[in-house]
A and B are shown apart, each in its own frame.
Chain A
Amino acid sequence: MGMISKIINWSRLKSPWVLHFNTGACNACDIEIIAALTPSYDLERFGVVLKATPRHADVLLCSGPVTKQIESRLVRIYEQMPEPKFVVAIGSCACSGGVFNGCYNVAGGINSVIPVSAYIPGCPASPKAIIDGVVKLLRSLETKERKSGGKK
């Protein structure tokens, strides 16, 4: 069993398919996410592929503060993703609400609605920071797996 779960874990680390979701960002973070997916950064080296549907995705890239209007949609998209799934909050707003925190229409950072696995600060977070964050997330999963002896 150990061998099989090791192979499965390896495959998960090597093929994170991402879904990009704007929860209310000012658009700058989204542009940086798209920039990170362009040929000049070549994320396909790590197996990252942008998918358009939550059913195919493993990692949800969220940008921006969660507005009250989009809160329920975010939860719905999160629940449509099959396990195991991870959420990455990109940009200061996604991490904490940022400059929009306390606005009448803002519920807060991503973690006030769904669990978040990695935070990438920056206003906006640069493509290099995003790649660094995703790689660190994958690495932390690897070590966690090793510590727990290949069990989830």
Chain B
Amino acid sequence: MAYLTQPDYVRYICTCGQLKPITSLYFCRHCLKIRCGFCICHEVDSHYCPNCLENMPSSEARLKKNRCSSCFDCPSCYHTLSTRASLVQPRQQEGAGDGKVENKHQKKMYYLACFNCRWTSRDVGIPDQPVASGGWPERPNPFATQINQLLEYYKAIALQEKQEKIEKERKKFAIRGKYLTLTDKTGLTGAMARNIAGLPSSDSGSSSIIAKFVPSQASAEVEELPEDYFTKEVNLNQITSMPQRLLSPEWQPTDVSRLHPIAKLLSVKRSQRCRECDHNLTKPEYNPGSIKFKIELLAFYHIPEVKIISYEPMKAGENSTVLLKLSNPTAHEMTLCLMNPEDIPQVDNEEEQLENSLEKSLTLDKESAACKPAAAPAWRRAAAPCVRAVGPPVRVSVPQRDDAAEYDDDATHDANDVIVWRKANKLGVRLQVATEAAASRGGAALLALALQYSYRNTVPPAANAPNQRNHILYTTALLSLGNVA
């Protein structure tokens, strides 16, 4: 819960330069790099209705304009509407039969009601429906005919332009071949031939649409305010608000009596992809009710986690001690080294390229043709760390995660001035830090801490790639240690 409710005291620097807590980072096992929501590619995986949790194939979703056919929202307060049933007595001839017969004729009719604001579909005169789900009348767009006419007109113009262009090109570069075509022989034009054959003429089709098109007509008469406008009482409850209007962009009703139930907008499950190697980082399960993933390469499962246990107040120009908790989430033992960010060796780009040459050769094409995402704002702009680790680098080894170890006895205390305690895959370390003398009092005390860690890659390597399983990786975290005292 601490991850959700508390501020992010520890933020990692993503490969793209963004600062994110470990819970919102991903780890690409193929590039061995940290990724975040900003530098990965999001994709729509499947459509579903968030209310009835019904899956909808994307072709059907496209047809239904991404709306569920059986769930509706209240147009007045946006709450989900409920279907209510009422018994109706069909009209009877007078004095016909006794009570039993009447009961047989009773029929259930359904209407929609909002339990939040008491709006019902009967309020606006929508007739009750004989079936519980769906079948609600659809409203046509008030401008549909005009817009269809315009669409046809512009499509016809585009087609004509295209044809004229082709015609022009052909005339320019027409090289008469040695074979005569039918039209050359007979002097028939294409259109005439089509006419004789009884085919709809292709050419005149578009031109007739253009000829028949009637543009909008302007009028000198503009609607004036009605006479009684200045004396009429305004009932705010009868006028819709802007959000209510914009909920249905096609109609934008101004009158409360014109509100219609809003078909529920579908939601999507997203899968996420590494931009560099195109591998999936997360892929959800198809079932909308499931919150599990088929693939989830979260950083939380792959990179060492740093937590702050306690710290002495930071004073400008002085040293202090910080107690940190390090944990190893992987299934392999991890050697960890805490150091300063500038001690991270610069990776030689060429060497790296050689390493995964196959992957590169596959993506090289794409990358050189396309543009890579612009370097995101450097984290330095957002934060200026003024605290740094001092003394020899802290080098520790953290055992792998073992679920059974949870039941073990208390932590073992190493008699060590670096390691404070050990427990399963976690350990507490003591770190000496120094605050810059120039740090301003009251400013945020940020510690930039680089982590060198060993990582065992469990992905089966590509056929001709070198089988390298153990890697030394680096990441940098920014720790908030209160304010400079």
Do A and B come from the same complex? no
